[in-house]
Amino acid sequence: MNTETVKTVADYVTENIKNAHLFKKHGIDFCCGGGVSLAQAAEKANVSLEILEKELQQTEMVSSPGYDYKNWKLDFLTDHIINVHHHYVEENIPLLIQYSARVAKVHGRQRPELIKIQQLFTKVAQELSAHLRKEELILFPFIKKLVKAQEEATPVAQPQFGKIDNPIKMMETEHDEAGAIFKEIADLSDNYTCPEWACNTYKALYSKLEEFENDLHHHVHLENNILFPKAIQLERSLTN
């Protein structure tokens, strides 16, 4: 049996993070919705499977994978997520709040979708800020305890939240919600396409929103498809 046929979209991105750009180009969700086969993703995105497979082969030939996230120790991966992706979110939320408010105020009457975009980003910003705190204060410290217990061959006390599946399911649900909001923002902005007359702040808003969404996709991919499954597996191996 050809194992390539059972690989998921998430698997392709896990093996080579640069495949994420290819899927993004075709509008294929590789993070929250990455658990589908290439054929299913191609059909949903209305893209030729043959073309998609050819482009993936070309990506593999012309570029080597970047960081080998799937082989990183879980405590190191959690630190990477905090230092790179959590920091990015925290640093860019205030800027995007400012941009979206200014553009909505100046151009909202002419382009009412800008008011909706401002409201949606304010909502997702609040939700993400709370989400990051839960990961940093509850989930990630427990993952580090699991790693330490494995290294030192010591037992780990069961946390108040029970099995690690419980907070992980909550985090994944929140990932889905954030992804849905950004899909709505992308639709409202015609995939971040500015009108010809747009001022520089308008252009900066759309550019930064697209950058923020791309970072979020990478961030969620690292957690949903690498960190979380491995953490669940590690906990099970320690309790069996």
Q: How far apart are CA 21 and CA 30, in angstroms?
A: 10
Strands (E), 88-157: none
Task: Report the alpha-carbon distance of residue 9 to residue 24 in Å, rounded.
Answer: 11
| DSSP-assigned letter for residue 174 | H
Structure-token match 């037992």, residue found: 155
Judge whether residue 1 has pLDDT over 60: no
Q: Check whether 3 has a pLDDT greater than 60.
A: no
Instruction: Give dist(CA 240, CA 235) in Å, integer.
Output: 9
- The string of DSSP letters for 176-191 reads HHHHHHHHHHHHHTTT
Alpha carbon separation from 174 to 61, 137, 169 (Å, rounded) = 36, 16, 9
Give the Cα separation of 64 and 78 in Å (integer): 24
Contact 100, 205 (CB under 8 A): yes
Helix axes 113-134, 87-107, angle to 10 degrees: 160
At 222-232, the pLDDT tens digits run 999 999 999 99
pLDDT computed for residue 16 by the predictor: 78
Of 5-14, 126-135, 212-221, the poorest mean pLDDT is in: 5-14
Residues sharing a CB contact under 8 Å with residue 121, sequence separation 6 or more, in sequence order: 96, 97, 100, 185, 209
pLDDT interval class at 62 (50, 70, 90): low
Average pLDDT over the chain, rounded to an integer: 90
Tell me the mean pLDDT in the region 58-84: 83
Highest mean pLDDT among 22-26, 35-39, 93-97: 93-97
Least confident of 110-119, 151-160, 221-230: 151-160
CB count in 10 Å sphere of residue 183: 14
Q: Two tokens at 33?
A: 């919705």
Please determine, for residue 24, whether its predicted confidence score (pLDDT) is greater than 90.
Answer: no
- Quick check: 161 pLDDT over 80? yes
Indicate the DSSP class of residue 196: T
At 66 the pLDDT is 66
Q: What is the mean pLDDT of residues 16-28?
A: 79
Residues across the chain: 240
- Mean pLDDT is lowest, of 31-40, 57-66, 99-108, 215-224, for 57-66
Which CA distances in Å does 236 have to 30, 71, 104, 164, 171?
26, 19, 49, 9, 19
Using DSSP, how many helices (H) and how many strands (E) does the chain show? 11, 0
Q: How confident is the model at residue 2 (pLDDT cuts 50, 70, 90)?
A: very low
